[in-house]
A = this chain, B = another copy of it.
Amino acid sequence: MVNKRVDLTAAQIEHLKTLVTGQVSTNETILDQHGRDESAIPPVRPSAVVMPQSTEEVSKVLAYCNSEKIPVVAFGAGSSLEGHVLPLFGGISLDLTQMNKVIEVRGDDLIVRVQPGVHRVALNEKLASSGLFFSVDPGADATLGGMAATGAAGTTTVRYGSMRDNVLALTAVMADGTVIKTGRETRKLSAGYDLTRLLVGSEGTLAVITELTLRVFGIPEKMAAAIVRFKNLSDGVTAATAIVRSGISIARCEFLDAKCIKNVNAHDGLNLAEVPTLFFEFHGSPQGVAEDAASVKEIVEEFGGSDFEWTTDEGARRKLWQARHNAYWAGIAANPGKRAVSTDAAVPLSKLAEAVTVAEEILSKHPYPFSILGHVADANFHCFIVTDPAKPAELEDVRHITHEITMKMIEMGGTCTGEHGIGSGKIQALEAETGAPAVSIMRSIKKTLDPNNILNPGKVFN
């Protein structure tokens, strides 16, 4: 039972080298690279980094680590915002980036099979020639394995769903090295317990994902983008929720506050008006898209939206959405040398305007620069708060503030995380949100499937 830091012996490292064709490294630079992610959580080095190249090698490594009670943290792009890949108890960082093959694109089945180390942008580049795309788009160019493990989502979730909806089947290695296959290459499935969705979002604590079958979509006939400005935060998000309720088909609907717009202007060379703004995207037939945009214009104007602009120009559309995707890094770039803490609450649709206002009020009482943006059609929004990594007390203070915000969101019927996951920072929030009995069921599943607690210990729960 792993419950304190484990450093590998020289003999253990030598043995691991016999199990994989890739590297087993204790090089300090490599350890450092595997000891941090995009969160502001202070880094923790693994004892070694192991790079398997196949499911079989992952299986051998896990069987060995299980017998030796060595913690194993799966590692992809390191783009987690919740410290998921930090090896809090040492042991090995299992780097899956050498398993980066797109195994099969099956356009006729609208599926693709990939290894876990494939990055989402690379996948979409590969799919484009077949007229297909993979829809889930967190800001970062994450790996598909990591996206599945954290239950990632993105700007298109309102239309195409999150990882929970788009992972059809998995190959995964359990803590003892057992290889399982879950799901099928079918669009519907009702065969036994939904192990696929149990593993998706389990944050590397139940198994290591070594292959994914994903649902892909045909690139729509027509795509159009639109943008509309508001006087304040609350009007903008209220308009967004009214659009969702109207049933108008939107592919994306994102909110950026004035600060975000300022940051993306600077980062991406744009000159958008620096006011609260909604970005939209529409997918469909040419007339359908135009009609949807016209209906949206009508609704947003009822809520005080102004300067509605829309375009079907592909270059303009891409530039707009690239800017949106860069919002996180634009925020970092605007604050050189700083790190960011991001909240990730989602609330019931009708509570969104109130939730954003409450968050803004809390943040305004403190000295830390912040901006607010979000997937408002899903009532999921992020407060992006800047902190100085050289001042640990600041991070501690920001953590208290985000916890205060999170607890308010939970009180409103919301969740502490719409898409980033629990990691190590929101363990207390998970219990407040879902209640001790449900967390106890989660724990009992963890204990059954990973009795030695080797898989990503210290995440989801203590």
Contacts and interface: CB of A to CB of B under 8 A. Distances in A.
A111 B246 CA distance: 14
B434 A181 contact: yes
- Residue of A179, A247, A418 with most chain B CB atoms under a 10 A cut-off: A247
B191 A416 contact: yes
A313 interface: no
Interface stretch (A50-58, A67-75, A94-102, A438-446): A438-446
Given A150-B190, A181-B437, 19 more contacts: A108-B241, A109-B349, A109-B351, A157-B188, A178-B440, A181-B438, A182-B434, A184-B413, A184-B414, A186-B415, A188-B375, A188-B380, A189-B346, A191-B417, A191-B426, A219-B247, A221-B247, A249-B285, A447-B448
A112 to B, nearest CB: 12
A449 B444 contact: yes
A414 to B, nearest CB: 6
A449 to B, nearest CB: 7
A298 interface: no
A151 B194 CA distance: 10
Contacts of A184: 346, 413-415, 433-434
A254 to B, nearest CB: 14
Contacts of A460: 192-193
Given A246-B218, A437-B180, A417 B202 contact: no
A246 B284 CA distance: 11
6 contacts: A109-B351, A179-B437, A191-B433, A192-B422, A197-B197, A288-B288
Contacts of A192: 201, 422, 430, 434, 438-439, 442, 460-461
Copy total for this chain: 2
Given A247-B217, A295-B285, A348 B194 contact: no
B191 A202 contact: no
Interface residues of A, number: 101
A388 B182 CA distance: 37
Interface string A165-206: 100000000100011111011111111111101101110001
A440 B194 CA distance: 13
A151 B444 contact: no
B221 A379 contact: no
A107 interface: yes
A378 B184 CA distance: 13
Contact of A193 (B291, B415, B442): B442
Nearest to A207: B441
Given A348-B111, A434-B181, A417 B164 contact: no
Interface string A80-121: 000000000000000000000000001111110000000000
Nearest to A426: B191
- Residue of A152, A441, A447 with most chain B CB atoms under a 10 A cut-off: A441
